[in-house]
Structure 1
Amino acid sequence: MKKDKTVLLAGATGYLGGHMAKELETRQIPTKIVVRNTEKAAQLISETATIVKAKLTQPETLKGLFEGVDTVISTVGITRQKDGLTYWDVDYQANVNLLNEAMRAGVRKFIYVSVLNGNLHRNLKICEAKEAFVDDLVASGLDYTIIRPNGFFSDMKDFLDMAKKGRVYLFGSGEQKFNPIHGRDLAIACVDAIASPKTEINIGGPDILTHNEVAELALLACGKPINVIHFPHWLRKSIIWALRTFTSSKTYGPIEFFLTLMAEDAIAPRYGSNRLGTFFQIEVDVLKKKI
């Protein structure tokens, strides 16, 4: 990629964004990494990557940053509320601010990471904001690719956290299937999308697993006997109702999302080479070294 084909990466301090920054560096693609906290992103500086400071929720801080940029890649979004910001502040408006500045600067393409089947779950607070931005991006006139990944390996740590205590809790039969993906594999696909004509890419990891199988992998990695407890779906629905009724979206948003997806299959085209069982084992080994 030539020097005038610079990528602007937003969301690099998150799980996926960090892998994305490394993949761009590996390919020697000139990159501007937009962050709020430059100290937190210091390790991302390289021969091809520079750090620029901006607050995505404050559009005036973005002015001038897109000069010479060919492609914007955004992984911006929040799964757990913080700093008093809402999904509409970050997943929607922060990305709209990026899009508006990209359009003013004549950027060629915008790549955005949403979620698998997000367009079918607009009733969920996380998806509502993400898909509203997708609508704006599609209507923008820019070339675009919407990346729709299945669950991240990092999200699977919830299974591992339960397994460390000797048991994993699931809803229903636990036979719902999905294929989560490692951030490294997903980053490769996202960077490939710079030159791809596809406007939407559904993507998951190489292994299609039931929730029971993921629970067993987590327990085995922790050296625990197989101990999986199944709760009925009516309890899951009751928890969602109670959270929606008695708490704010800041509290129930991520739980609502997780509990809803726990009740259905979520299978995407298989991609990548990193396996969940290996990821669990590495995580456990890292934890042991810290103790």
Structure 2
Amino acid sequence: MKTLIIGGTGTVGTQVVKYMLQAKQPIRLLTTSVHKAARLPVYVDPYVANLDEPETLTKAFVGIDKVFLLNPQGHTEVEQAINAVNAAQKAGVSKIVYQSIHRVRQGAHIPHFQTKIAIEEAIMASGLNYTFVCPNNFYQNDFWFKDAVSAYGIYPQPYGEAGLSRVDVRDIAEAAVKALFNSEYDGLSIPLAGPEALTGEDTAAILSEELGFKVNYGGNDLAAWAAQAKLILPAWIVDDWVQMYQFFQEKGLVATASDLQLLTHVLGRAPRSYAAFVREYAPVFQPESVTV
């Protein structure tokens, strides 16, 4: 039987697919796009369906034993996930691994944290066997800021000085795949975090050290950040993220020793560091005139 990957064409999902293929596990990938389906790796079974249209999901779950669920932030996020959970129940799926957020209940006032909590509760109430994988802020989010870093020497993500235990997306994917096939993690929330709590200034300092030119932290002015962000993102997302960054600035989101102990056990090694991430992807952040 196959594993159904929902959300398999995004930042995390593509890495989940990669680890599944490396493990030689048969997978089906649900996508809303015929064009994306046509571009999937040859060993992936594509299925075009829509989480907003539950009638399209029934056949997608035929022959499915396990499900990885990652549905994007959106106005129907909870309903989409519940549609997937209902289809999984009807199909007799043995396990669902859902991507939530690290220590999500600490930020329960943040809209997209609220949706993750609602989905977790729906999965727990469903009677399905489950594991939640719960990542902190992604290192790979910094690819969005590569132009600010390379052209202006500014790191603009305004997460402040309280500290974030940021994480490499590849660690998230590897942990998710291990959770799918290891009953040891049934019923658990696995924290996905990096080995150190980083401030905005720490991040800029690491970028400076690893890239060989000065990078400054852009600061904590959320009104200024929101004004710029609304030029390229929907206002409702920016307003949500302002609440998230305010929470990060005031409280941080820092992994405990027990969080890191569990994650190290799941991975079989320490999680990747931010410095190692920047070192590996240094060419992405270099000015165009610099040859690396």
Specify the TM-score bucket, using the shorter chain as the normaliser.
0.7 to 0.9
CA distance in 2, matches of 1:225, 1:250: 31
Q: Match for 1:39 among 12, 20, 35?
A: 35
Aligned length: 268
For residues 287 and 229 of structure 1, do their structure 2 counterparts lie closer, same or farther at Cα, with a shift above 3 Å needed?
closer
CA distance in 1, matches of 2:157, 2:33: 37
Q: Which secondary structure does the structure 1 equivalent of 2:174 belong to? A: helix
Deviation at 1:180, TM superposition (A): 1.4
Deviation at 1:263, TM superposition (A): 2.9
Higher helix share: 2
CA distance in 1, matches of 2:219, 2:288: 32
For residues 32 and 228 of structure 1, do their structure 2 counterparts lie closer, same or farther at Cα, with a shift above 3 Å needed?
closer
Q: Counterpart of 1:210 in structure 2: which amino acid?
A: T
CA distance in 1, matches of 2:282, 2:207: 9
Deviations 1:183-233 (A, max 9, x none): 1111111111122324211121234333321121223444332534544xx
- Identity across the alignment (%): 24
Q: Counterpart of 2:20 in structure 1: which amino acid?
A: L
Q: Match for 2:254 among 258, 267, 275?
A: 267
CA distance in 2, matches of 1:170, 1:289: 19
Deviation at 1:169, TM superposition (A): 5.4
For residues 227 and 66 of structure 1, do their structure 2 counterparts lie closer, same or farther at Cα, with a shift above 3 Å needed?
closer
Q: Counterpart of 1:179 in structure 2: which amino acid?
A: S
Unaligned runs of 5+ in 1: 79-86
Higher mean alpha-carbon deviation, 56-65 vs 150-159, is at: 150-159
For residues 29 and 71 of structure 1, do their structure 2 counterparts lie closer, same or farther at Cα, with a shift above 3 Å needed?
same
Q: Counterpart of 2:165 in structure 1: which amino acid?
A: N
Deviation at 1:67, TM superposition (A): 1.5
TM-score, normalising length: structure 2: 0.80
CA distance in 1, matches of 2:206, 2:145: 9
Counterpart of 2:53 in structure 1 is 58
Unaligned runs of 5+ in 2: 265-269
CA distance in 2, matches of 1:140, 1:16: 25
Q: Is the 8 A contact 1:149 1:202 kept in 2?
A: yes
Q: Is the 8 A contact 1:145 1:199 kept in 2?
A: yes
Q: Is the 8 A contact 1:13 1:41 kept in 2?
A: no
Q: Match for 1:150 among 136, 145, 154?
A: 136
Q: Does 1:249 align with 2:249?
A: no
TM-score, normalising length: structure 1: 0.80
Q: Does 1:279 align with 2:273?
A: no
CA distance in 1, matches of 2:284, 2:215: 22
Q: Counterpart of 2:214 in structure 1: which amino acid?
A: P
Higher mean alpha-carbon deviation, 23-32 vs 34-43, is at: 34-43
CA distance in 2, matches of 1:93, 1:139: 15
Counterpart of 2:68 in structure 1 is 73
Q: Does 1:29 align with 2:25?
A: yes
CA distance in 1, matches of 2:66, 2:288: 39
